Amino acid sequence: MSAPLTTRRAVLRAGAGAAALTGAAWGSGTLYSRTSAVGSGGGTSRPVRIGYLPITDAAPLLVAHANGYFDDAGVTVARPVMFRSWASLSEGFVAGKVDAIHMLMPMALYMRYGLQADVRITAWNHTNGSALTVRPGITDLPQLAGETVAIPAWWSIHNVVVQKLLRAAGLTPVMRESPSRSRGTVALVPMAPADMLPALNNGVIGGYVVADPFDAAAEVRHVGTIHRFLGDVWRNHACCVTMLRGELLRDRPDQAGGFMDALVRAQAWARQNRPETAAVLAGGYLPQPRPVIQRALTYSAADHAGALHHPQWHGETLDFRPYPYASFTEELVRSMKDTVVDAPADFLGGLEPAAAHRELVDDTLVTRSIAKAGGWAAFGLDGATRTEEIRA
C-alpha cells in the first residue's frame, strides 16, 4: 500500500527542506524510488527491511548487515535501502515499505504524535555525530547576525540545539524573513546536506548544522570550519534513534529480538573499530569517500580545541550507546516546545514529557541485547538512568 496523500504532505512539511541526500556530489548509490523493489508484503517469515540515509548516523544498521550479525542472530534481513531524504524515509516507514530505520528523534515524536503512526523507538542508534560548521573567517557566534544558517529538517536535534546556541549568544533565530545584522537575527532554512557545502562555499549561507560526514567534508575541502560540536552543547545526546514498526514488534517478536541483538553487537564493534567501520561504510553503503568518513569517526579533540568548551565530554566523538534514556526524551519534548519551526507543532501542546517516553519508547529488547553484548560497561554506560547536561 502507499501512504495517504495527507500523510505525505504532513511528512514533507515536518521535514521540509530535508531534501535529497543524493550521491550527486560524491558518486552514485542505490537509492529508494517509487519503483524500488522494496515491497510491503506481509508474513511472519519475510526478511526485515531496513531504510537509511547516506550519513554516518546509519552506521550500526549497516555494520550489522555487512558483518553478518543479522545472520548470526537468525534474522533474515534484506540489503538496506538508501533513501533520498528524511521525508521519503519517514513516508516509506509509515507506509510499510521498510520495517526498521534510523530517524531523527524529534521527527520520531512527530511521527507518533503528529501522524499517529504505529511506530516505536527501540534503541538509540548513535549519540553525538553533528556540528555547527561555518565559513572561514567566522570565529564567534555573534558574527552570524544577519546570516542564514542551514538545517537538515525543522524537527531535528540540529535545529533544537543550534537555536539554544544562537540564543545563548544573544541572537534570535527567525524563519520566513530576511536576517538582520542590526537586530541580531539569524535566518534558519532547511537544506539538503549535499547542497550545504556549495552554499557555504558560494557565500549563500554563513553556516550549517548537520550530521557527519558533511562537517568533515567541509574541513577536508577547506570550505568551512567546525565551530562547535553539538555533543559539546548537549552531552551524549541522541541524534538518530532506531525505530521499528509496531507490526514487527507484535507479530514477529523473535525477528525483532534478533534484530536488536545484531544492532547492539554492531554498536559495540563500531565503538572499538573506527577505521574498520569507515571501510565498511565506504564499501558500497555510503557514497562519500573513505577518508571523509574516517575523519568523521576519528576526530581529534586536540585538533578541534576551539570547538570544545567541555573537552571532558568528548563531544567530538560520534558514539554508539544504545540505551534510550527517559531523561533525554523528557528534556527533548520540553526543548521542542521552545524551538522555532515552520512545521506542524500542534502535537506538542498537550504532550507530557514522561508520558511521551512511556508511550513511544520500548527499551525491553535493547536492555536484553546490552546484557548479551557485555553489559553497560561495553558502551561506556553506568546504568539505566542519567542526568541531562546542556551548556550552550
Residue 23's pLDDT is: 34
CA distance 245 to 257: 13
Nearest to 224 by CA among 200, 204, 203: 200
Is 43 a residue whose pLDDT tops 80? Answer: no
pLDDT tens, residue by residue, 259-268: 999 999 999 9
CATH architecture of 5-127+237-379: 3-Layer(aba) Sandwich (3.40)
Residue 11's pLDDT is: 55
Confidence band, pLDDT 50/70/90 cuts, at residue 8:
low
Is 288 a residue whose pLDDT tops 70? Answer: yes
pLDDT tens, residue by residue, 55-75: 999 999 999 999 999 999 999
CB 160 within 8 A of CB 182: no
Is 192 a residue whose pLDDT tops 60? Answer: yes
* CA atoms in the 13 A half-sphere facing the CB of 177: 13
- Beta-carbon contacts of residue 37 (< 8 Å; ≥ 6 apart): none
Residue 84's pLDDT is: 81
5-127+237-379 with 130-232: one CATH topology? yes
Across 16-37, average pLDDT:
37
Is 6 a residue whose pLDDT tops 90? Answer: no
Sequence letter at residue 277:
T
Nearest to 230 by CA among 389, 341, 58: 389
Q: 3-state secondary structure string, the chain?
A: CCCCHHHHHHHHHHCCCCCCCCCCCCCCCCECCCCCCCCCCCCCCCCECEEECCCHHHHHHHHHHHCCHHHHCCCCECCCEECCCHHHHHHHHHCCCCCEEEEEHHHHHHHHHHCCCCEEEEEECCECCEEEEECCCCCCHHHHCCCEEEECCCCCHHHHHHHHHHHHCCCEEECCCCCCCCCCEEEEEECCHHHHHHHHHCCCCCEEEEECCHHHHHHHCCCCEEEEEHHHCECCCECEEEEEEHHHHHHCHHHHHHHHHHHHHHHHHHHHCHHHHHHHHHCCCCCCCHHHHHHHHCCCCHHHHHHCCCHHHCCCCCECCCCCCHHHHHHHHHHHHCCCCCCCCHHHCCCCHHHHHHHHECCHHHHHHHHHCCCHHHHCCCCCCCCCCECC
**What percentage of the chain has pLDDT greater than the value 70?**
89
Predicted TM-score of the model (pTM) = 0.90
* CA atoms in the 13 A half-sphere facing the CB of 187: 16
Question: Which of the pair, 127 or 23, is modelled with greater confidence?
Answer: 127
- Give buried/exposed letters for 235-261 (b at 16+ CB in 10 A, else e): bbbbbbbbbbbeebbeebeebbbbbbb
Confidence band, pLDDT 50/70/90 cuts, at residue 12:
low
Burial degree of 373 (CB within 10 A; 0-12, 13-18, 19+): buried
**What percentage of the chain has pLDDT greater than the value 90?**
86
Confidence band, pLDDT 50/70/90 cuts, at residue 35:
very low
Confidence band, pLDDT 50/70/90 cuts, at residue 193:
confident
Residue 15's pLDDT is: 55
Class for the domain spanning 130-232: alpha beta
Is 53 a residue whose pLDDT tops 90? Answer: yes
Ranges of each domain in the chain: 5-127+237-379, 130-232
Is 21 a residue whose pLDDT tops 50? Answer: no
Residue 37's pLDDT is: 36
Average pLDDT, rounded, for the chain: 91
| Ranges 34-48, 95-109, 140-154, 281-295: which has the least confidence | 34-48
